Amino acid sequence: MDQEFFWYLLGTLAAVLTTFGFVPQIIKMRKTRSSKDVSLMTLFQFSAGVLLWTLYGFHIGDIIVVVANIISFLTLVVAIGFYYHYR
Amino acid sequence: MDQEFFWYLLGTLAAVLTTFGFVPQIIKMRKTRSSKDVSLMTLFQFSAGVLLWTLYGFHIGDIIVVVANIISFLTLVVAIGFYYHYR
């Protein structure tokens, strides 16, 4: 495998893992119908962070940064919705 | 304020918010002494993600990416420890 391709794959895998990092938390809240131990502050702090990353992505003109953080934000909106629904 | 300085501050704030995103979750587990609703898979998925980001940071020679993700990883190690301790 080409070295650059290896690093491209590794970077992509890193991005996918962190972008979809809250999906297992969403699934767990849905399954157990409980969210009381989940930190709402963590969800809001990540939401604010990825929104700022999205703006920063537009500024540096990096579409990957923009798209990854918009997807992250959407998963966080669902997580926050489930937090309130199941708490 | 200089425009570039504004974007520098915004990028830094984005990085700080997401790097320390699990700190409120750690504090909540410690306070409530309970972790059963927290998704261990989310913690492991983020851990794997930030480790790969760290390697990628070394590859692209970006010290900020390296340091931010190592700090993130350390908070995740604490979070995983608390998860097992308080579940």
Name the token pair of A21: 């990092």
pLDDT at B21: 98
The CA distance from A23 to B21, in Å, is 16
CB atoms within 10 A of CB A77: 12
CB contact under 8 A, B56 and A18: no
A39 CB contacts (<8 Å, ≥6 apart)?
B24, B25, B27, B28
Domain positions in chain A are 3-86
Provide the ipTM: 0.94
Name the token pair of B66: 């390296």
The CA distance from B72 to B75, in Å, is 5
CB atoms within 10 A of CB B15: 20
Measured between CB atoms, does B82 come within 8 Å of chain A?
Answer: no
Q: Shortest CB distance from A18 goes to which of B34, B37, B46?
A: B46
pTM (2 decimals)?
0.94
Considering the domain A3-86 in this protein, what is its CATH number? 1.20.1280.290
In which residue ranges of chain B is pLDDT below 70?
none
